[in-house]
Structure 1
Amino acid sequence: MIYVATTNEHKVHEIMDILSDFNLELLKSPKKVDVEEDGKSFFENSVKKAYYYGMELNNPVISDDSGLVINALGGMPGVESARFMEGYSYEEKMKELLRRLQNFNDKSASFVCVATYFNPNSGVLISAQGVVSGTISENIRGEFGFGYDPFFIPEGYDKTFGELGESVKRQISHRSRAFRKLFELLKKVGEI
């Protein structure tokens, strides 16, 4: 049994779907553990969450930290993706980012995810990174996914994650890439 170190239902559902072919029992954390995500990188925040949840639950955990990196805006919102314009809806956040991008030709961006496994009993801590490159669309489109999905167009597609739907996102997303890499590593070292 491995706990997912989050109380975000969307994230738990997405991770469980991604890892369904590994035949593992993944459970949402039974409680929220207060972890200040003050790291300067996705890696730092992911490791910090895994460590604190693992120690609190005394059980193997997986965590992640992820976000949107917009090149023309110096990488913002980056590690602050969830906290950018805190208290505002994602629609309002996307509108503000589109406003800030209006004078730039470069609309390139990427979603980045660092997934981490920590087992407090064995001391094993492993992380893997997944990245999906793409562009920011001219407007917000689609009802699928969550967060910034409705205005991010992954490379090789002409629709946003919000339009493509869960089955496509499950195959190509940053989170999918990170967790698949992570679980392949865990198989190799005998943790699963």
Structure 2
Amino acid sequence: KENALIKARAVYKALKSQNPEALKNTVILSDDSGISVKALDGAPGIYSARYSSDIVEHPTEASNRAKLKSELDKKGVFSSPAFYTAAIAAISDIGGFSECVELGFMHGSAIADERGENGFGYDFMFIPQGYELTIGQLSAQIKEALSHRTQALRAILPHLKALAKG
């Protein structure tokens, strides 16, 4: 939640310094997300995007997946319960200053193998609950329906609708 708010607050502050009037009709949205793997005590969690920073100077999606595979291999685990989390933050001056953060989750399993060609990040190593294929093997439509970001956006929608009413 805090990382999503940090991002939204930074944009809010920049806009306020450049054009405070623009904020009267603006909602700033930001997100932060990550994957948590039970066998790894919740890692990589909030460090998902830079998980392999202890191995490479500039972590990439591929280096992060390689580290996830390595860490699962070290534990002797091929599959572990895991979940994606997305935090969506909204900041607005409409009707007075407000901040809101909502969470979305996608539960399933992380595997020590890469499968599929669709998606990004850890999608090739994550099997959503109720499926046998990784996110990287599923269609974009199924991924969108299951997505932790979709869940978080649905959760924040009532707040956005309230702002729209003024």
Is the pair's TM-score, using the shorter chain for normalization, greater than 0.5? Answer: yes
79 and 67 in structure 1: CA distance in 2 versus 1, 3 angstrom threshold: same
Aligned partner (choices 123, 140, 147) of residue 173 of structure 1: 147
Aligned partner (choices 81, 84, 88) of residue 108 of structure 1: 81
Give the greater-gyration-radius structure (CA): 2
Alignment of 1:131-142 (within 5 A): 131-142=105-116
Q: 2:69–2:113: 8 Å Cα contact kept in structure 1?
A: yes
2:163 matched to 1:190? yes
State the one-letter code of the partner of 1:90. E
Q: Who is 1:94 aligned against?
A: 65
Q: How much has 1:106 moved relative to structure 2?
A: 5.8
Q: How much has 1:69 moved relative to structure 2?
A: 0.5
TM-score under structure 2 length normalisation? 0.82
- Residue deviations 1:100-144, cap 9 Å, x none? 112136611100001011014531111110011100124101111
Q: Who is 2:11 aligned against?
A: 53
- Residue deviations 1:28-53, cap 9 Å, x none? xxxxxxxxxxxxxxx01011111111
Q: Who is 1:80 aligned against?
A: 47
Q: How much has 1:151 moved relative to structure 2?
A: 0.6
TM-score under structure 1 length normalisation? 0.72
80 and 67 in structure 1: CA distance in 2 versus 1, 3 angstrom threshold: same
| Rounded Cα–Cα distance in structure 1 between residues aligned with 2:164 and 2:52 | 39
RMSD of aligned Cα (Å)? 1.7
State the one-letter code of the partner of 1:96. K
State the one-letter code of the partner of 1:68. I
| Rounded Cα–Cα distance in structure 2 between residues aligned with 1:91 and 1:150 | 10
Report the secondary structure of 1:180's partner residue: helix
Q: Where is the helix percentage greater, Structure 1 or Structure 2?
A: 2
| Rounded Cα–Cα distance in structure 1 between residues aligned with 2:41 and 2:124 | 21
State the one-letter code of the partner of 1:79. I
144 and 105 in structure 1: CA distance in 2 versus 1, 3 angstrom threshold: closer
Q: Which structure 2 residue ranges, 5 or more long, are not aligned?
A: 17-22
Q: Which structure 1 residue ranges, 5 or more long, are not aligned?
A: 1-42
